[in-house]
Amino acid sequence: MIDVGIIGATGYAGVELIRILHGHPQVHIRALGSVSFEGQDISDIYPSLAGICPQKLLATDEVIDACQVIFASVPHGVSEEIGRKCVDQDKLLIDLGADFRLTDPEDYKEWYKLEYKDPELHKQSVYSIPELHREKVKGAKIIGNPGCYPTSIALGLFPALKACVIDPDTIVIDSKSGVTGAGRGLSQTSHYPDCNEAFSPYKIASHRHTPEIEQTISQIVGRDVLITFVPHLLPVNRGIVSTIYSKLKTPLSPKEVHELYAHTYQGEQFVRVMKEGQAANLKNVRGSNYCDISLHVDTRTNRLIVVSTIDNMVKGAAGQAIQNMNLALGFPEDMGLHLAPLCF
Ligand SMILES: NC(=O)C1=CN([C@@H]2O[C@H](COP(=O)(O)OP(=O)(O)OC[C@H]3O[C@@H](n4cnc5c(N)ncnc54)[C@H](OP(=O)(O)O)[C@@H]3O)[C@@H](O)[C@H]2O)C=CC1
Ligand SMILES: CC(=O)N[C@@H](CCC(=O)OP(=O)(O)O)C(=O)O
């Protein structure tokens, strides 16, 4: 059994890590960290967690000292210091935030308004969407877990980009996220009367996930690509739907596109290519580590339309982080992740 700790355990993604790791057969949740609630029991904040994990919330250093694997589920800017301590103690860090996602420090500076303080550390980290990068993960010391929107988008575009059937310069992405994507902190936009019965784009063509999306697309294509990305806040608790538009280089039938995707994702346990004529729906992935992809061709305009949906808390955060942990430790990639979607 591996002793695992979660820093930022009281946050939304932290609590989701507890929920999923509780069912992992090779993991023992050893320590939970909190700054604001240190010394209190986690069930004082989340009564649903009574009896299923250690209760006392510890300081960050106590979590690192007690565990072999550490998940940092904290705001960006906090994880470099945690990463240094983990590397120095030869422990595995999986960071759910943005501190180890971008390979170009200039991108981090521009989009997150922060600088890498410990550049050496970043040479020891890998960014991993398992379906695209799994061969890099085994033996890694720090894993930068992807953002929620970029996960849905990269998985939605990968087969078409890899097969060179779309023009990457024509990609336009329209995404919608549930409110848990904003985290537990209070803000006006996630305040109930403001988000309920409302639906609006935000950070139009200026969201900080843009460089991460472009980084992955550019790596697949082999040259720098710019995309247009517009996120929306959807008044549901969890789930992301990304609708991705691009021009086909040459006309393809819906059947041909479907065959391409089905072939590319053959054998992938967490990517489900939907049948022709079906449309992906976040309702079908809630609570699970699945990414559902539906494929549509606008034959009049020669556009490919991909709809990719995930649960932002699972495939977009905690589930994917555990998938990465499994890869890093040499466990079966799906271990502890057989979470059937909630039907209602
Ligand atoms: N929500 C989502 O859908 C996704 C989130 N992420 C990323 O995962 C990370 C966590 O997100 P989420 O759970 O939503 O955010 P929350 O705001 O819900 O939780 C963040 C937690 O971080 C802890 N924290 C804050 N500052 C520090 C610090 N200096 N040291 C240690 N702990 C600290 C807080 O715990 P306390 O108050 O107890 O100290 C807080 O509960 C973020 O980087 C986020 O961007 C990634 C993908 C999806
Ligand atoms: C709905 C909502 O607010 N979503 C968040 C998702 C960000 C997130 O979780 O991403 P990081 O891990 O990169 O911080 C946002 O748009 O900022």
Measured CA to CA, the distance from residue 112 to residue 43 in angstroms comes to 33
Are 139 and 156 members of one domain?
A: no
Q: Are residues 296 and 168 in the same domain?
A: yes
141 and 76 in a common domain: yes
Whether residues 161 and 273 fall in one domain: yes
The average pLDDT across 309-336 equals 98
Chain center to CA of 66: 26
Q: Do 77 and 222 fall into the same domain?
A: no
pLDDT at 139: 83
For the Cβ of 296 lying below 6 angstroms from any atom of ligand 1, the answer is no
Q: How many domains does the chain have?
A: 2
Please check whether residue 335 lies inside any domain of the structure. Answer: no
Ligand 2 midpoint to CA 153 (Å) = 14
Instruction: Please state at what angle helix 254-264 crosses helix 148-162, rounded to 10 degrees.
Output: 110
With the most atoms of ligand 1 within 8 angstroms of its CB, the residue from 7, 55, 61, 96 to mutate is 96
Answer yes or no: do 127 and 183 share one domain: no
155: Cβ contacts below 8 Å, ≥ 6 apart: 129, 131, 132, 271, 291, 293, 308, 310
CATH number of residue 135's parent domain: 3.40.50.720
pLDDT for the residue 186: 82
pLDDT the model gives residue 188 = 87
ipTM confidence score: 0.98
Ligand with the closest atom to the CA of 185: 1
Q: Is 288 in the pocket of ligand 1 (CB under 6 A)?
A: no
Q: Give the separation between CA 190 and CA 184, rounded to whole angstroms.
A: 9
State the Cα–Cα distance between residues 46 and 58, nearest whole angstrom.
16
Q: Does one domain contain both 160 and 297?
A: yes
Question: Could you report the per-residue pLDDT of 42-57, keeping only the tens digit for each?
Answer: 999 999 999 999 999 9
18: in domain: yes
> Looking at the structure, do residues 226 and 292 belong to the same domain, yes or no?
yes
Looking at the structure, do residues 274 and 200 belong to the same domain, yes or no? yes
- Read off the pTM: 0.97
pLDDT tens-digit series, residues 287-305:
999 999 999 999 999 999 9
Question: Active-site residues: which are they?
Answer: 148
Residues 142 and 156 placed together within one structural domain of the fold? no
Residue 247 lies in a domain: yes
One domain, residues 175 and 304: yes
Mean pLDDT of 70-82: 97
The answer to whether residue 164 sits within a structural domain is yes
Asked whether 82 lines ligand 1 (CB < 6 A), one says: no
Rg of the chain over all Cα atoms, to the nearest angstrom: 20
322 and 297 together in one domain: no
Residues of the domain holding 263 = 149-312
**pLDDT tens digits for range 99-119:** 999 999 999 999 999 999 999
